[in-house]
Amino acid sequence: MTTVMGICRSFRDRAFARFFHCFPCLSDPARRSSWGLKVTLVMLHLIFVGILFVFDGDLIEKTKKEPWYTALYLLLLLATLVQYFITSSSSPGYVVDVMRAVNETNVIYQKSSMASKQPASSQNGSLNVVIEGSQSGRNFQGSNPSSWTKLVMDMYPPGTSIRSCTCSYCNVEQPPRAKHCHDCDKCVLQFDHHCVWLGSCVGQDNHCKFWWYICEETALCLWTGILYIMYLKANISRPWWKDAIMILLLIALSISIIFLLLLLLFHSYLVLTNQTTYELVRRRRIPYLRRIPERVYPFSKGICRNLYNFCCVRSSIYSLEPLPSSQELEEKARPYTCLDILTCRCC
């Protein structure tokens, strides 16, 4: 008996080793879990939509008469799944990648300056690091670059210790709004949260993609819920167990719709005020946000510019925001007047 179990175990280990050799991306337990969640989410979509087409004969008849209606619904389903995989596979913007790019450009600049007195931007123009702010607004594109440490320290108030800005896990200097993610084991620019369903963080580079995914998922769930209700309201004799299945699925769908609507509204509020979930929830624990009043949004540049930066700035641009000065905070904390409204101060 022991020999048989040993043979079975050995055969199983060889089978798994061969499988992981063919699919090396699944050898990591974290990646297997992430892919398992992705498959589960796709299957849930197919189940909710598939059962609707299997049970609802009226929907089939409507598809024959008005194929555009079902085509739009299936197109929304496809767009939602595509957006999900685009969001889950995109980088949130890791600090170490920006640091490496800045330091490499600095080295190239120094070498090119020694070889010829031309700026390094002519040889390495792909890097684009924007340091925002009224006082230090400048574009770092290879010309006159600085080291990463100097760039980060310039974004903090004078006298800030470099130790307080250095991540104890990655050992890299964190710019403001960056945070170390223990699941990804990397520091993320403008860290929002680690999404379990995506299997990755939501940060500066993929927050816009995440918002669009939530928007598409909410629209798909609302449309599916309407089709479920139309099926249950139809006066057609059918087995009771079909109605029971549809009611249970509709209850689960209703809970998902409520959650998605709240999540969409919450992230829309964050976008309009240029905040992140981490900054809003842990404001009292973030050193540079503790002394700022609750209703003052230190990184907000007005609704219009916040929307523009969120939606229209290319993902290849790394945007680093320095901490606002005391004068800027006083201006943001100043109450609105009728003149401010007429001059569109909030925008």
Residues annotated as catalytic (active site), given as ranges: 195
Amino acid sitting at position 326:
S
Give the pair of three-digit tokens for residue 256.
């998902």
Give the pair of three-digit tokens for residue 274.
């240029």
**Residue among 215, 207, 188 nearest 274 (CA):** 207
CA-to-CA distance for 245 and 54, rounded, in angstroms? 12
Three-class SS state of 91:
coil
CB 271 within 8 A of CB 307: yes
CA-to-CA distance for 173 and 242, rounded, in angstroms? 59
- Cross-strand pairs, 130: 139, 319
Listing DSSP states for 94-120 in one string gives: BHHHHHHHHHHHHHHHHHHHHH-SS-G
CB 162 within 8 A of CB 151: no
CA-to-CA distance for 99 and 172, rounded, in angstroms? 8
Distance, CA of 236 to chain centre: 44
Give the pair of three-digit tokens for residue 231.
């099926």
Three-class SS state of 4:
helix
HSE-CB at 163 with a 13 A cutoff on CA atoms is 0
CA-to-CA distance for 146 and 173, rounded, in angstroms? 14
Give the pair of three-digit tokens for residue 188.
């993320």
CA-to-CA distance for 243 and 4, rounded, in angstroms? 50
Angle of CA points 24, 29, 34, to nearest 5°:
90
